[in-house]
Amino acid sequence: MKAQVVTILFASLLVATHQESSVYPGCWTQWFDRDNPSGNGDFENLAIQREQTPGKICDNPLDIEVRTVTGGSMASTGDIFTAADTITGFVCENNKQTQTKMCSDYEVRYLCPVEFCYPKGCWTEWFDRDDPSGTGDWETLTDIIKEKPGKICENPLYLEAQTTSGKSVESTGDVISVASPSSGLVCENKNQKDGSCEDYQVRFYCPDEFCMIKSCWTEWYDRDNPSGTGDWETLEDLYLKHPGEICEYPLEIDVLTTSGGSVASTGDTIAISDTSTGFVCKNADQNGHLCEDYKVRFRCPEEFCESKGCWTEWFDRDNPSGKGDWENLELLLQENPGKICEYPLQIEVQTTSGNSVASTGNVITASDPNTGFICENSKQPAGKRCEDFKVRFFCPEDFCKSVVDPNGGQQNDQFCKYYKVCYSSSGGSYIETLNNPPCP
Ligand SMILES: [Ca+2]
Ligand SMILES: [Ca+2]
Ligand SMILES: [Ca+2]
Ligand SMILES: [Ca+2]
């Protein structure tokens, strides 16, 4: 009985801490109330809830919060609880109550990691711009944006903070003046008992628009078939087979069957699928059948993307006089065989006169390296039409080395003589061909 009380106190302490703190890198699920106390009690078990609402709760919740369905606190009911944790979930059994009454009716929710809440977002690097030697440690968002342009978004969703030696903020006992994703972290020496803050570092979780600009996907790889012990698409093997094409520390892994189906749709039990090992499906883990054949790709950080690949020439295949301006990849690939890679890493779009997309005020239907660019006249504000846009794509290095003769012929020695990738000092690059200007 004593142990239970301790558990509950501990749980509610954690809840309180996280509720007050917007710093914690996660989000709360909806409230779940699957049971009523009329039977043996109120059973809000995590495992059962997961089965009933697949995909709504993360695999490893960071915390649980419990309240009565009328919004009362756990303590207010006087009930004795069997469990209130992130492993079991919540259980209150009627026969464990000392008072002659049933359990109250409770609902629960879980704190999930930010990667679950916003799977397409990304963490920035750690920033440590200040030392506490002056008035304190000022790791403010405005300063970091100024000092590290392009390394951080302007509207982060979450902040994570720790000391430069990796200790949690709570463990230092410091009184923190400011800690939020919109402001960053400020610790002032004058507010500390010992007159000095620890040295902190911060990182921010940014929305997907930012992440996609600052990272790139590799091509899809399918090096193995499931005919042996399974389908082994490990990074170790892929590095060997495709040297230089995949970054050392991928940010994300993406897996599909070779026919494009989702992993979940196969029902296969997957042994490994992560950014440190890659992907493994073992035939032995399946119930008497073979694994499906899978392909994988990886999302790599900006530094890697910039260095490995080349820009195509600019394409302007359509005019906005009809339904809009359709510079979509599918048609561009058909109309310009060999001049664009099948899986571009990035897209760049401008008006044909060289202005930015933002400057046009057009509502854009699609603008990504998989789809290409589409602007539809029907989606524009009243009285407005799409401008005429041009696009170009950033292609993986493999493609750059094997660009087909822009005049339609196959790659040959003659072509290789005039094909060259030009790199500019600002980091951009393009292919020097008959249609593109020579390297400066
Ligand atoms: Ca309930
Ligand atoms: Ca610092
Ligand atoms: Ca495979
Ligand atoms: Ca156009």
* Closest C-alpha to 4, from 95, 112, 68, 96: 96
* Coarse DSSP helix, strand, coil percentages of the chain, rounded to the nearest 5 percent: 20, 30, 50
CA of 169 to the centre of ligand 2 (A): 12
- Of 295, 294, 297, 310, nearest to 246 (Cα)? 297
Tens-digit pLDDT string for the chain (440 aa): 333 332 222 222 222 233 333 355 678 999 999 999 999 999 999 999 999 998 899 988 999 999 999 999 999 999 999 999 999 999 999 999 987 789 999 999 999 988 888 877 888 889 999 999 999 999 999 999 988 877 889 889 888 899 999 888 889 999 999 998 899 999 999 999 999 999 999 999 888 878 777 777 888 999 999 999 999 999 988 887 776 678 888 888 999 999 988 898 899 999 999 999 999 999 999 999 999 999 999 988 877 776 667 788 899 999 999 999 999 999 999 999 888 988 887 788 899 998 888 788 898 898 888 889 999 999 999 889 999 999 998 887 777 765 544 444 434 333 333 345 555 555 555 555 545 555 55
DSSP-based three-state secondary structure for 287: coil
Please state, in angstroms and rounded to a whole number, the distance separating the CA atoms of residues 31 and 90. 12
**How does strand 272-274 pair with strand 310-311?**
unpaired
Please give the Cα distance from 41 to 113 (Å, whole number).
30
CA gap 38, 392 in Å, rounded: 64
> What residues are neighbours of ligand 1 (ion), with CB under 5 Å?
33, 35, 42, 105-106
Q: Give residue 94's pLDDT.
A: 95
Residues 380-403 as b or e (16 or more Cβ within 10 Å = b): beeeeebbbbbbbbbbbeebbeeb
Among the bound ligands, name the one nearest to the CA of residue 318.
4
* Distance in angstroms (rounded) separating the CA atoms of residues 409 and 338: 9
Residue 33: nearest ligand to its CA? 1
pLDDT, tens digit (0-9, with 9 covering 90-100), for 321-340: 999 999 999 999 999 988 89
Domain ranges of the chain: 2-117, 122-210, 215-305, 310-432
Predicted TM-score (pTM) of the model is 0.45
Given a contact cutoff of 8 angstroms between Cβ atoms, the answer to whether 14 and 63 are in contact is: yes
Q: In what order do the strands lie in the sheet with 122-123?
A: 122-123, 200-206, 158-163
Give 152 Cα–ligand 2 centroid separation in angstroms.
17
